[in-house]
Amino acid sequence: MHPALTAIRDATIGTPYEGDLFLVGGAARDELLGIPHEADFDLVTTGSAPNLARYLFDSGVSSIAPVTYERFGTAMVQVAGVQIELVTARRESYDENSRKPSVEPATLEEDARRRDFTVNTLMKSVHDEELRDPLGTGLTDLQHKILRTPLDPIATFHDDPLRMLRAVRFRWKLGFLPADGLYEAIRTTRERLRIISLERVRDEFVKMLAQPTAADALQDLMDLGLFEIFLPEFLPMIGCEQGKYHHLDVWNHSLLVLRNAGAGDLILSLAALFHDVGKPPTRFVDDEGNTRFFGHEHVGADMVQDILRRLKFPQRDIDEVALLVKNHMRLGSAPKFSSAAARRLLRDMDGEVERLLSLVEADANGLKAGVRVMDLTPIRERLANVSVATPVATLQSPLTGEEIMEITGLAAGPAVGKIKTLLTEKVLDGDLLPEDKEAAIEIVSALT
């Protein structure tokens, strides 16, 4: 047993909570499946969870004062460095236009019925570690790897539409099969997802992207019509043919690139998924019958800014993804990768060079079978050598704007900026050393 649970068990022996405190949800489920679970726990009791939280704090078990939500009968404490949510067993009723329920105290069985899936209704006693299956179906579904709602799925998804996204995520995270009628209920009720805040939708989307099965989950979102609700920009990618170098349409190619990129890096995963989002609006067929997507990387970068901002991603994440999307064609379009090109890439990518290389590799591996995959070894070697010789911080004009104005007598304005840009370009081309002020002064003097 985790030290946090042991501390709570010991503190509640001889109290009304002894024998009435159960680990529930993901932690109980994952223990039975033999898979790791993050150290955060949900505990349910038929007693008062807020009162229990105050008791744990007063007795020194919780390191923080309880954060209570009296309306829902829940409280948050922290024990042994772990966040613990305490819940009073409850039944729920929902308003048509909200996923926030009205609640009232209930039995453990009634509490289980209001949960999302039967495999998340299993309860393990904190005191004697006895396993309980309040509905009598959770353990069987767990053993047969079936994802089922405790109530009619249409009612479950209508009450809390976020559970539609959770159904897809759990299906692929756990390797379960949806129960008969589960996915049909999602298709029927998918419009209800519009009442959910985009922050909550984003969080579920991000959790799917963190899994190795992300591409499978996203295909389910497409098939179930959920992307129509919160990411309609993906729909034109389906059936958008790419020409002779590709064997897949834009959507399926993007999913393959996502697979190739691997899981664990959210920025890279987002860039892989969105790298060709600008292709449908830029697609045309030239006079020779070749499919073209001129400028799709720039259009895509602008779309990324709009889409991820709408989904409430942090601006820093948005900028990083957009930068990768904007530059993902850069290495493939150059006939050779010179030292000057390496310096420009290092400057422009602002620390994202390795992610860009990973994206380019994932993209290249998503091309038509038999097409030679780009070998980035020479590019990596060139970048390594250049970065040692001229660190990114030095890739700038040897002269400041003020120094240029002093030499030329120019007032602050565009003319000064053009001269400074010229000096910077000479540094990037290798014609001027970043520290060589004298040579820079000679160049400026010759211009004036």
Domains and CATH numbers, the chain: 3-144 (3.30.460.10), 151-229 (1.10.110.30), 231-393 (1.10.3210), 401-447 (no CATH)
pLDDT tens per residue across all 448 residues of the chain: 899 999 999 999 999 999 999 999 999 999 999 988 877 899 999 999 999 999 999 999 999 998 888 777 889 999 999 999 999 998 776 666 665 666 677 899 999 998 999 999 999 999 999 999 999 999 999 999 999 999 999 999 998 999 999 999 999 999 999 999 999 999 999 999 999 999 999 999 999 999 999 999 999 999 999 999 999 999 999 998 887 777 889 999 999 999 999 999 999 999 999 999 999 999 888 878 887 889 999 999 999 999 999 999 999 999 999 999 999 998 875 557 888 888 888 888 878 999 999 999 999 887 755 455 677 888 888 888 888 877 777 778 888 888 888 888 888 888 888 888 888 888 788 888 878 888 888 888 887 6
Instruction: Quote the pTM value.
Output: 0.85
Find, among 153, 88, 154, the residue nearest to 117 by Cα. 153
What was the pLDDT predicted at 426? 84
Rg (C-alpha) for the chain, rounded Å, is 29
Check if the beta carbon of residue 393 is closer than 8 Å to that of residue 364: no
Cα–Cα distance measured from residue 74 to residue 30, given in angstroms and rounded to the nearest whole number: 23
What was the pLDDT predicted at 100? 66
Q: What are 285's strand-pairing partners?
A: 291
Q: What are 382's strand-pairing partners?
A: none
Which residues, at least 6 apart from 95, have a Cβ–Cβ distance to it below 8 Å?
102
Which is it for strands 40-45 and 22-24: parallel, antiparallel or unpaired? Answer: antiparallel
Looking at residue 47, its amino acid is G
From residue 384, alpha-carbon distances to 6, 125, 177, 356 in Å are 51, 56, 47, 15
Cα–Cα distance measured from residue 166 to residue 164, given in angstroms and rounded to the nearest whole number: 5
What was the pLDDT predicted at 376? 85
Cα–Cα distance measured from residue 110 to residue 272, given in angstroms and rounded to the nearest whole number: 44
Which residues, at least 6 apart from 318, have a Cβ–Cβ distance to it below 8 Å?
304, 305, 308, 309
What was the pLDDT predicted at 368? 59
Cα–Cα distance measured from residue 41 to residue 123, given in angstroms and rounded to the nearest whole number: 12
